[in-house]
Chains A and B, each alone.
Chain A
Amino acid sequence: MENGSAIETAGLIVLACLTGSMLLAFYRLVKGPSLPDRVIALDLIAALTVGVCGVYAIVSDQSVFLRPAIALALVSFLGAIAFAYYIRKGGTS
């Protein structure tokens, strides 16, 4: 039980760090001078959310939380590709 609580404590610290990182990425999403800046920030937020799903699966000891991580990895790739086409065709920010 002692090890389990160690993992839980580490997981909570890690979740706090990931939340701070998400706030930093959100700052770039709001401020970013061009549209690709915002798309990159969104991509990083998706990767951070995959990380949050993984850490929460470890902390709560339930492996189902891996499934939203899979879905999110797939969808964020499609979103980035769609935005790249949009920017390439001359979309404005």
Chain B
Amino acid sequence: MTEALTILLMGAGTAFMVLAAIGIVRLPDLFTRMHAATKVGTLGASGIVLALAVHFDNLGVTTRALFVIGFLFLTAPIAAHMLGRAAYFTGVPFWEGTGVDELKEAGDGGGSRASGDPKSPNAAGEGASRESEDPH
């Protein structure tokens, strides 16, 4: 029973990890890649560490495993948020299919988005409206 649960959790975690790696190679721009890498990667690592806790069945090991899981779930969103915000404001180009830019509409005090590097292919209307100055 314990062995089956260990193998199940380990396999599920590894499946998530492989999906995260495929996503980080296949997805078209930074923000979608970030979506794959941080969320799915965190879930995969947590599954494997949970399998470790089930396998050893020991109070100390379980405590440490839960500490690792809690820490991963606390820090991965913060790191991804800060990276995404920094990348947005330094003008990393969007995928051409991106249609919504809610951070620009909200107009918060983080500064305006720098224009993307000139060699990046901007879709005509979308890129122009995204990089124009704020009206107010």
- What is A's interface to B at a CB cutoff of 8 Å? 3-4, 6-7, 10-11, 14, 17-18, 20-22, 24-25, 27-28, 34, 36-37, 39-41, 43-44, 47-48, 50-51, 54-55, 57-58, 63, 66-67, 69-70, 73-74, 77, 80-81, 83-85, 87-88, 90
Q: How far is the CB of A85 from chain B (nearest CB, A)?
A: 8
Which residues of chain B are within 8 angstroms of A24 by Cβ–Cβ distance? 21-22, 24-25
Contact with A along B17-45 (1 / 0, CB 8 A): 11011101100001001100110011011
> How many residues of chain B get a CB closer than 8 Å to chain A's CBs?
52
> What are 12 A-B pairs with beta-carbon distances under 8 A?
A21-B22, A24-B22, A25-B25, A28-B25, A34-B92, A37-B33, A48-B17, A50-B49, A58-B51, A63-B60, A70-B71, A81-B82
A93 vs B49: C-alpha distance in the bound complex, in angstroms?
34
